[in-house]
């Protein structure tokens, strides 16, 4: 077997792998996601790293502008910070044209209300993040997608959309479309109101179907893993516990916890004695809270800022060693809800 054929076969095994890093704002998830991407690319995976955080810092981590189209960072690695506004406008162009007709018809009296409706619609730009994951998942150029997610609250709202909109697509959307089809000739002829044409409903349906496809990918444990980054601090642990519970209840698979921002053992100054003892106790709490998931530690506070390829490589080695960071580290579900004959049951994985 020649070298190129071996590499192609190796990459084919990981085709369609997705890893998402999330956690409370400021815990260091962007840096750890970037380090994972660097090591994965070094192992030969054709990797793209995406940022779904509106306050992008991926470019800062690599010390390279990643705005707009995917840009090559190193061999096998590409990066992109998603432009929510521009890409959101592209997704909703047909619907916005219809709202524009409404505004022109209604005049000043209804203009303000129409603008409010359009502003609410613009919030759907967040969903562009999920559609970007789907876009690059379906792109045969990339075998691995790493996602630097927004902080906890935004991520939970984002990941909750597909499930809620799937219900709308199945239960409500067909009724609304049929009602509009029947009422359109009468209302347009009598009141001259610009009713939504079928292309508007087609655009909405296409959008919702793609979101449902994304939900299926994100809930497939063989394809997608979520990784939680936590610091040994009470507030961070509490928020990460809530995130951990919500992700499990939504059916998302978590395979790894990474504890970051530890004070180095080499620091002997007594000023840090309390903080070192506190972190030691909180690390034990992290182990208890997230058992049986494996817990990796990022190195203690490093001497230099982790910016650029070399520092990210060092960080990745410190966390994963020579291991393959794309593998699934844990396959069971710590929390799972199952429907039975007598109702729903909550199952909690426990190591005795």
Please write the tens of the pLDDT for every residue from 57-76.
899 999 999 988 899 999 99
Distance CA 232, CA 262 (A): 7
Residue 2 confidence (pLDDT): 37
- Model confidence pLDDT, tens digit, residues 224-275: 999 999 999 999 999 999 999 888 888 889 999 999 988 777 777 777 788 8
Top CATH class, 13-87+129-162+220-348: alpha beta
DSSP state of 125: G
Mean pLDDT of the chain: 76
As given in the structure block, the two tokens for residue 39 are 């090591």
Distance CA 163, CA 153 (A): 17
> Which one, of 88, 275, 241, 36, lies nearest residue 156 by Cα?
241
Tell me whether strands 335-340 and 343-348 are parallel, antiparallel or unpaired: antiparallel
As given in the structure block, the two tokens for residue 277 are 């003892």
Using DSSP's 3-state secondary structure scheme, residue 303 falls into coil
Residue 41 pLDDT more than 60?
A: yes
Residue 211 pLDDT more than 80?
A: no
Distance CA 172, CA 328 (A): 38
- Which of 147-161, 282-296, 311-325 is least confident? 147-161
Using DSSP's 3-state secondary structure scheme, residue 87 falls into helix
As given in the structure block, the two tokens for residue 114 are 């129409």
> Which one, of 136, 140, 185, 134, lies nearest residue 161 by Cα?
134
Q: Are 51 and 58 contacting, i.e. CB atoms less than 8 angstroms apart?
A: yes
* Residue whose token pair is 């590409």: 78
Q: CB count, 10 Å around CB of 177? A: 17
Whether the full predicted model's pTM is greater than 0.75, yes or no, is yes
Who has greater pLDDT, 341 or 145? 145
Q: What is the Cα 106 distance to its own chain's centre?
A: 39
Q: Read off the pLDDT band of 105 (50, 70, 90).
A: very low
Q: Are 312 and 38 contacting, i.e. CB atoms less than 8 angstroms apart?
A: yes
Using DSSP's 3-state secondary structure scheme, residue 268 falls into coil
Q: Read off the pLDDT band of 128 (50, 70, 90).
A: confident
Portion of the chain with pLDDT greater than 90, in percent: 34
205 contacts: CB under 8 Å, gap ≥ 6? 169, 173, 177
Domain boundaries, the chain: 13-87+129-162+220-348
In the chain, how many H helices and how many E strands?
Answer: 13, 10
């Amino acid at each position: 077997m020649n070298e190129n054929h071996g590499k192609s076969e190796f990459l084919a095994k990981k085709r369609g792998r997705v890893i998402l890093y999330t956690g409370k704002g400021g815990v260091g998830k962007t840096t750890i996601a970037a380090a994972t991407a660097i090591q994965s690319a070094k192992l030969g995976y054709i990797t793209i790293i995406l940022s779904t955080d509106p306050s992008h810092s991926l470019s800062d981590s690599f010390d390279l502008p990643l705005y707009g189209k995917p840009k090559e960072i190193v061999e096998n690695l590409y990066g992109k910070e998603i432009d929510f506004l521009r890409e959101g406008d592209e997704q909703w162009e047909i619907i916005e044209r219809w709202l524009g007709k409404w505004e022109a018809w209604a005049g000043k009296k209804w203009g303000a209300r129409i603008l409010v409706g359009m502003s609410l619609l613009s919030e759907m730009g967040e969903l562009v993040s999920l559609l970007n994951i789907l876009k690059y998942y379906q792109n045969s150029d990339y075998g691995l997608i790493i996602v630097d997610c927004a902080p906890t609250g935004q991520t939970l709202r984002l990941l909750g959309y597909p499930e809620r909109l799937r219900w709308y697509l199945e239960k409500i959307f067909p009724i609304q479309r049929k009602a509009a089809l029947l009422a359109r000739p009468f209302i347009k002829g009598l009141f001259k109101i610009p009713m939504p044409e079928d292309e508007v409903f087609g655009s909405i349906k296409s959008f919702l179907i793609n979101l449902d496809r994304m939900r299926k990918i994100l809930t497939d444990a063989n394809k997608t893993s979520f990784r939680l980054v936590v610091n040994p601090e009470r507030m961070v642990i509490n928020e990460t516990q809530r995130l951990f519970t919500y992700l499990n209840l939504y059916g998302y698979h978590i395979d790894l916890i990474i504890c970051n921002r530890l004070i180095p053992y080499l620091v002997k100054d007594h000023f840090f004695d309390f903080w070192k003892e506190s972190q030691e106790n909180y690390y034990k709490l992290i182990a208890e809270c997230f058992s049986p998931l494996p817990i990796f530690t990022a190195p203690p506070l490093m001497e230099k800022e982790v910016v650029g390829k070399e520092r990210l490589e060092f960080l990745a080695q410190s966390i994963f060693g020579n291991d393959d960071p794309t593998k699934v580290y844990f396959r069971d579900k710590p929390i799972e809800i199952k429907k039975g004959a007598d109702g729903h049951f909550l199952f909690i994985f426990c190591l005795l």
